[in-house]
Chains A and B, each alone.
Chain A
């Protein structure tokens, strides 16, 4: 599904990713952990195609296609989804209108029929319920005045609505209370499928108790320095990055 080879990325003239390799086959969930500032969000923005994240060398293949040439909206239409570490507020635009606009924009780009307002409403309500997102939130302007946890849940709602082939979740667990964490994890698990791949960026082993990853990678200073099974996360939690990655380096 995703094949990253020797990826170098520069932001504002500074190299942040320095030869990153990562491969996620369909049907698998991979976790990326790593200290603050190691380049995790940079990786997720690069995958989404954000302006200012310049690929200086290496390649990103998604379903066998080079991503670099595609705009972010084209990537979304092709089934890529990024749940942001810091979701953005858009005043005056109701959450429901935003969801409908986005869903139909993606469908249009794929040459599919648009879904009418009533259908979108039904679809969103059904998914919102499972995530404990209220009608009131759907009516309010997008993310405006939402609590940290509410914003994160809304990201997961979007993932559920768009049904991407590849989803990257950037610290979706940060700021969630215990109940919300479980809801989000259940939402993610419900979407696991042989046709879908996911990349979960997190600082906390706890999330990985709920979402058991196929592989765990440690990102440090712009490179994947260690990889292993779910037990690697537990080991990291116990010993810290210094010991583990120090030993591996």
Chain B
């Protein structure tokens, strides 16, 4: 049987619902609180960036000063004080980033081990290269040698800016311009670290690439920036995971991810997002305001987004595809779980520009407790996109009577030969289903997990095998205690 079918039991994991809520006690080098031109210069200097990068950041910063926070999403939160947070925090021991894994601060190794991401040579996940980002810096990247042999560049973006400026200058901001939106512009000014991937022509990346984002420091925001370029006829599968400590304060995570697929290239991008969601009363948790966009720049290219969003107090995120190349394909597979007082407003945009472009959207939204869960999606077909096709499937599952599920699909088709289909369903976990499971000896929380995993199956199957089982467990854990 396929690996994705094994439903592991919830009780395998520690009784704590959010088991990643610990804090690593480590000496930090921080930017003083507040945001100004000096902050931008401070970050750029910390990263020993070239002048052009600083200019780029400063321009974004100036622009940001004139922008307003978007208000159209179905989410509510108190005003964010952008001056009351620090925009750079890095472990002191990382001053000069160590060249070898052996030189990493043992406290950091221990942290990642606890998170299930062993970085030391003997214990690394076979077949998965990991870039570990801790607050504002990347602390380690595994399997670099093996990837270099294949010609694949996989490194922290701060390193790419110094060592591969020609690629970074060509592609950075080419999918999400610095002017794109409030949070993306803020990110452009103050981004700290994230991953850079370049897969050369005709290369099939020999292993899964993944970045593990960890927020540790308090009163900071994390501004990750990821850039992935798949050159002609190449293939790469990339996965990101995220966790943060339990805190009463809200912390901002405003990321920008840009993907570029050239002729015949394919990028598969998966996210397992498990930022701290806040407590049962809705106190604390991460504000996850993220701009992710892929550009199918070449003909016959493909970009596929898969996301499992279980964490964060607020999720505001619309991984999108610009289907520019003829015959290009965009996919969006999403599971968004909102429990207790979590709010999720997430979906995708499929912009059909090229001929015979195809897109597929499968969204599974699960709401429990007092949560609000919105699918917001745009399918836009331009006049030139003859023969474009889209199919959207939006399913909502409600657990209990006090949560909400909303579906907001926008369809703009300016091409008569295009076909756009939208299907939506809303259901509840029925008493019959629960009783049936119970009567067979399956306890309540495990029954909910089983039923919800069944509901999400189509999406879970899209995840790389190495992560599917973990994601299934996560689905169960994030809904523990939601019934009865």
Chain A residues within 8 Å of B, Cβ to Cβ: 48-52, 71-73, 75-77, 82, 84, 87-94, 96-98, 101-106, 108-109, 117, 121, 139, 141, 158, 162
Judge if B1 is at the interface, Cβ distance under 8 Å: yes
The docked-state distance in angstroms from the alpha carbon of A84 to that of B433 is 12
Which residues of B, 443-476, contact A by the 8 Å Cβ criterion?
443-444, 446, 450-451, 453-458
Contacts A92-B454, A96-B1 known; A101 to B7 CB distance under 8 Å? yes
Give B11's nearest chain A residue, CB to CB: A108
Interface class of chain B by DSSP:
helix
| Cross-chain pair count, CB within 8 angstroms | 97
* B454 surroundings in chain A (CB, below 8 A): 90-93, 141
On whether the beta carbons of B436 and A87 are closer than 8 Å, the reply is yes
The residue in A72, A77, A87, A162 that gathers the most chain B C-beta atoms within 10 A of its C-beta is A72
Interface size on B, residues (CB 8 A): 28
Tell whether, in the assembled complex, residue A82 and residue B439 are in contact, meaning their CB atoms are under 8 Å apart. Answer: yes
Given the complex, which residues of A lie within 8 Å of B70, measured CB to CB?
Answer: none
Contacts of B433 in A (CB 8 A): 88-90
Which residue of the partner chain, among A49, A94, A158, contacts B5 with CB atoms under 8 Å? A94
Which residues of B are at the interface with A, using a C-beta cutoff of 8 A?
Answer: 1, 5-7, 9, 430-433, 435-444, 446, 450-451, 453-458
Nearest CB of chain A from residue B393's CB, rounded to whole Å:
13
Inside 8 A of B6's CB, which chain A residues have their CB? Answer: 97, 117
Selected from A72, A91, A94, A96, the residue in CB contact (under 8 A) with B439 is A72
Bound complex: CA A50 to CA B430 (Å): 13
12 residue pairs bridging A and B, Cβ less than 8 Å apart? A49-B439, A52-B431, A72-B438, A73-B439, A73-B443, A88-B432, A88-B435, A90-B450, A91-B454, A92-B456, A93-B454, A109-B441
Expressed in whole angstroms, the Cα–Cα distance for A30 and B458 within the complex equals 45
CA distance A124 to B469 in the complex (A): 23
Whether A91 pairs with B438 at a CB distance below 8 angstroms is no
Cβ–Cβ < 8 Å partners of A75 in chain B: 439
Nearest 7 CB-CB pairings of A with B: A92-B454, A76-B441, A93-B454, A106-B441, A92-B457, A102-B440, A72-B438
In the complex, which of the residues B5, B431, B436, B456 contacts A90, with contact meaning CB atoms closer than 8 Å? B436
Give 13 new A-B contacts, CB below 8 A, not counting A93-B457, A117-B1: A48-B435, A73-B444, A76-B439, A77-B441, A89-B433, A92-B453, A94-B1, A97-B450, A101-B9, A105-B9, A108-B9, A141-B454, A158-B440
Bound-state Cα–Cα, A52 to B438, Å: 14
Asked whether, in the complex, the Cβ of B443 is within 8 Å of the Cβ of A98, the reply is no
Distance, CA A84 to CA B436, complexed state (A):
9
